[in-house]
Amino acid sequence: MSLPIRVIDTATPALNRLVAGLSPESVANECGPRVQRLVQRHYRSLGSNSKGYPTTHFWPGAARATSWYRTAGGFLIQTDKIGVAQRYSGGDIFPVKAGALTIPADPAAYGHTARDFSDLVRSVQLNPATGRLQACLVQAKSSEIKIGNKREDGSRKVTHTASNLGTRVFYWLCKHIHQKPNHNIIPTKEEFFEEVEHGVRNIVSRARGQKQ
């Protein structure tokens, strides 16, 4: 007596679909946009500058400048904004076309260059942060002219009032600065891995849910 048994292979087609779904191109298409959004959210969470100066919206700009694209073996996230790599890696910064670096010392100077102001002059002031005298750019001395009402004889009273004593430091000048690296400007490895894992799980779930 023989008992015929018919074996229907349903595992192989499912595995083939799973393998096809996990190709580098498929993983990139699923995980690339997810990781891009992760990096963008992280940039936007960094907030404004630590000194409380008026914001230049640097990190929202970095988020807008972040994109992804496929590579031969996966995908790459890119932030195309000057200053992000310097903040991440740190290192020495030297003046390129000027004799000194200009470090903002006043909220009005933040987000601007010294060339944006026409009344700055070189001076030496005590830097409270270091306790030492340091070269700087201050607002030039100026005076305010007030013209009074016309007198009976037709003349007017003119008064000069000092409006700036030339001690308001706009920029500290230095030959170079060393910026410490800050790896916290991007998500952690665990956050990257978690986002990719969610993406791969989505691919597997879709492959299992397909009808034969």
Average pLDDT of the residues of the chain: 82
pLDDT of residue 48: 77
Q: What is the mean pLDDT of residues 153-164?
A: 54
**Confidence band, pLDDT 50/70/90 cuts, at residue 11:** very low
pLDDT of residue 16: 58
Euclidean distance between the first and final Cα of the chain, in Å? 34
Report the C-alpha gap between 9 and 4 in whole angstroms: 16
Helix (H, G, I), strand (E, B) or coil at 126: strand
**Confidence band, pLDDT 50/70/90 cuts, at residue 186:** very high
11-21 vs 189-209: helix axis angle to the nearest 10?
Answer: 140
Q: Given a cut of 80, is residue 33 above it in pLDDT?
A: yes
Q: Given a cut of 90, is residue 143 above it in pLDDT?
A: no
Higher pLDDT, 81 or 206: 81
Q: What is the mean pLDDT of residues 202-208?
A: 81
Residue 119's contacts (CB-CB under 8 Å, 6 or more residues apart) are 139, 140, 142
Q: Two tokens at 123?
A: 């001076």
- Which span out of 93-102, 135-144, 148-157 was modeled with the highest average pLDDT? 93-102
Neighbours of 200 (CB within 10 A): 15
118 within 8 A of 187, measured Cβ to Cβ: no
Where are the chain's structural domains?
9-90+180-212, 94-176
Report the C-alpha gap between 84 and 45 in whole angstroms: 15
Residue 52's contacts (CB-CB under 8 Å, 6 or more residues apart) are 107
pLDDT of residue 2: 47
Q: Given a cut of 50, is residue 9 above it in pLDDT?
A: no
Q: Are strands 142-150 and 177-179 parallel, antiparallel or unpaired?
A: unpaired
Percentage of the chain surpassing pLDDT 90?
Answer: 50
For 107-130, the pLDDT digits (tens) are 989 988 888 988 888 999 999 988
